[in-house]
Structure 1
C-alpha cells in the first residue's frame, strides 16, 4: 500500500438531503448568502463566494433530511487512482461514475459506518457571470449583498456507531491526520477531529448514541470574522430560523460557533475557525477526557442536550430530539 498522506487536497462538496427543497434553498441563499448556480425540480447547486469550485453544496429533494455524500478532491489523477487501488485492496467496495456538481471521473465508496464518500480530481472552476464578478481578480466571486456571506464550506461532522473505525478509514486509507479527540473513561473514542490540510479539522466523527449508521450531525460554513456570527444570530431570530445553541466558543478546536436548523431539519453550523492552523508536521493529538468534556464549552456554557441527541435523518423509534420548523429552541 502506498502512503496516502497528501493525496487528498481538501474537502470538495457535500450532498444534503431535504424534504423542503424550496425552504432549504431559501436558507442557503438568504441566511448564509450563498449563490445558486443550478436549479431543477429535484436539486439545487449552491456555492460560497470564496470556494473556487463550481459547487459547494448539492441540495437534493428527498423524503427526509440527512447527508447524501461527501466529495473529496484528490491532488491529481494519479493520486485518485492510488487511493482507489488501496481502497479496493482493503476490501472497500465502490463504483466509478461521472461526477456530481461539476466534477469529472469519480470513485464512490463508503466509510465503515455507511456514509458515502466520493473521490475525484477533475473539476469545474467557477466562472462568475458579469453581475457577480469580483473587484479583485484573485477572488472567485464578488462578496454577496445578502445574508451572512459565508466564505467557504468548512467541515462536516458525521455521526457514527463506531467512531474509531470510521475515523481510521480516513487516516489509514485516505491520509487524514487526527488533531483532537474525546476519549471516555472506558477507553472508547467518542469523537475525533481530522484534517487533510493545514486547517485544524475538515472531517469529524461523533458517536451516535442511538447506535444507528450513516447519519449527519452538521455541515459547517466559515465566516469572515466573529461579528458575522453575531449577525447570523440576529438574521435567524428575525427570520424565524431555529437557533440551537451559541454564539459561543468551543473548547475543542477553539471555534467560535452558532448552530441553527435549516427548514429541512438539518443542523448547520456557522463557524469562525480561521485563526487556528495546524502547521506542525509532527502534531501530537490532543485528547480530551470525559471529565474535561463534561465541563462544557470554553466560557462555561454547558453543551445543550439536543447536541448529543439529534441527528439527521431523525429516528422515530429512538428518543431523538424532535425538530419543529419555526420554533426557536
Structure 2
C-alpha cells in the first residue's frame, strides 16, 4: 500500500555520520579499504584504524575495530542543529553520553529496537587536508585519490532486524525519517524498508533477519562518482582475489547501480552509484514491492544470489538459525 508522507515533518537528523565496522583481521581489512577502495588512513590506536573517504567533510568516515566477530559497531547520526540534537535526545529517551570519540563532540547513545547501537551528535571536526591530499578546488574535502575504487563517501547502512514493522514505526515516529520504498509480505506487513533522512533516496535500510537474530549487519554501502568506477572496482577486486558476491548490475528497488563484495573480515560491502535519484517531493508516496515482483530479479533480470538473503555479520551458525 502506498503511504503519503507529511510535508510538515521536521528533519532533525542531517545525515548518517561515521560508522564503526568490526573485523577479526584488522590489518587485512585496513589494506582492503586503503589499497583497493581508495580510503586514507588518518588515525589509529591500539584496537582500531580510522579511515577517510576523499570527499567526506568530517575528519573520518569509518573506524575499523578489532573484534573476534565481524559486524557493525556504533553508527553515528549527525543532528541538523544543536536544538535538533536536544529534540532527538528527548525523542529517543537518552541522557547517556560519551565525549571520547575522536573528531566528534558529546555523543548521546541509544539503541534501535533491534539492538544496534547508535550515537547522536552535533559538534564535528572537519577534515583538514595536508600536502599529500590537498585538493585543487577548495570546495572539496581532499584530492581525488586515483586509486582502486576511489570511494567518495559513505552512502547508507543496511541492517538486519528481527522485527521490521517495529523498526519501521520507530524510524518514522521517533527519528522522523520517511520510508521511500519497501518490500511487503502477502499480509501487507513490511519485510524490508528503505528510509530517507533528507533528500537522498535512502540512508537507513532494514531487512528481515531470516535467523531471527538481533543486531546484525547486512551491508555498508559507499558511493562512487560514476558507474564506470564500479566496473573498475570489479576488476580491482578480481585481481586482488576479493570475493565478489554479485554484480555489477542495477537494482530494481531504488535503481542503484551496484557491486557487492566481502571485505577480508567478512562484512558485505556495496560499491554503488546512488546519487542520481533524489526525493524532491515533500509528499513522497512510499513505493511498495511484493515478493512476487522481487522474485523477477534485479532491474535487468539478474537473479538475486542466495547468499544475499542468508549472509550477515556476525555469522550465525546454521544450526542456530531460526532457533
SS at the partner of 2:31? helix
Distance 1:95 1:4 in 2: 26
SS at the partner of 2:77? strand
Q: Does structure 1 residue 253 correspond to structure 2 residue 258?
A: no
Q: Aligned to 2:32, which of 27, 42, 53?
A: 27
Aligned to 2:74: 69
Q: CA deviation at 1:99?
A: 4.8
TM-score between the two structures when normalised by the length of structure 1? 0.93
Q: CA deviation at 1:214?
A: 0.2
Q: Aligned to 1:52, which of 57, 82, 90?
A: 57
1:127-206 to structure 2, matched below 5 A, reads: 127-206=128-207
Q: Does structure 1 residue 42 correspond to structure 2 residue 53?
A: no
CA RMSD of the aligned region, Å?
1.3
Aligned length: 314
Distance 1:43 1:301 in 2: 37
Q: CA deviation at 1:168?
A: 2.1
SS at the partner of 2:174? helix
SS at the partner of 2:249? strand
Q: CA deviation at 1:94?
A: 5.9
Distance 1:117 1:4 in 2: 22
Deviations 1:201-258, CA, capped at 9 Å, x for gaps: 0000000000000000000000110000000000000000000000000000000000
Distance 2:160 2:53 in 1: 24
SS at the partner of 1:165? helix
Q: CA deviation at 1:101?
A: 3.8
* Aligned 8 A contact 1:167 1:192 in 2: yes
1:97-136 to structure 2, matched below 5 A, reads: 97-136=98-137
* Aligned 8 A contact 1:45 1:101 in 2: no
Distance 1:318 1:170 in 2: 32
Unaligned runs of 5+ in 2: 1-7
Deviates most, 32-41 or 149-158:
32-41
Deviations 1:143-195, CA, capped at 9 Å, x for gaps: 11311111110000000001121122222111111100000113221100011
Q: Does structure 1 residue 304 correspond to structure 2 residue 305?
A: yes
Q: Does structure 1 residue 7 correspond to structure 2 residue 12?
A: yes
Higher normalized contact order (CA 8 Å, seq sep 6+, divided by chain length): 2
Q: CA deviation at 1:5?
A: 2.3
Distance 1:209 1:186 in 2: 18
Distance 2:140 2:74 in 1: 27
Q: CA deviation at 1:24?
A: 0.5
Distance 1:253 1:98 in 2: 37
After superposing on structure 2, the runs of 4+ consecutive aligned residues of structure 1 that deviate more than 3 Å are 317-320
